[in-house]
Amino acid sequence: MSHDPNCIFCKIIAGQIPSKKVYEDADLLAFHDIHPWAPVHVLIIPKLHLASMADLTDEHAPLLGKMSVLAPKLMKELGVNNGFRTVVNTGPDGGQEVYHLHMHAMGGPRPWLKG
């Protein structure tokens, strides 16, 4: 299924749910996470509905490549200049809550991590 009408991120792609978009092209959308864990926290998603990494096949490799290349570009544009973390949660034991594949990109000063 390329679009799931019950999926919250497909609704964001369709403009049925508002989001603070930071990037969009034919394949990808990126927007600010509604509950940020870091000073800058964006989600990068494919427009194609893929529930999780568990659904990936070889044909999706270029799409994942595009997501990975976009992350540092967006972090730089959003003023993150001292490193960032990328996370993809997969399945219940991976802590996945939204079943539309997404990459978290989190940056900004995180003093609670320092010694």
Can you give the binding site for ligand 5GP, defined by CB under 6 A?
8, 17, 19, 31-35, 43, 89, 95-98
Min. distance of Cβ 78 from Zn ion in angstroms?
A: 24
Site for Zn ion in 42-101 (CB under 5 A): 49, 100
Min. distance of Cβ 23 from ligand 5GP in angstroms?
A: 13
Catalytic: which of 41, 100, 102, 104?
Answer: 102
Task: Report the C-alpha gap between 103 and 49 in whole angstroms.
Answer: 14
Task: Report the C-alpha gap between 67 and 59 in whole angstroms.
Answer: 14
Question: 48 with 66: CB under 8 angstroms?
Answer: no
- Please choose, from the candidates 22, 44, 58, 25, the residue with its C-alpha nearest in 3D space to the C-alpha of residue 98: 44
- Whether 102 is a known active-site residue: answer yes
Q: Residue 100 binds which entry of ligand 5GP, Zn ion, none, with Cβ cut-offs from 5 to 8 Å by kind? A: Zn ion
Which residue, 42 or 80, has its beta carbon nearer to ligand 5GP?
A: 42
Catalytic residue ranges: 102
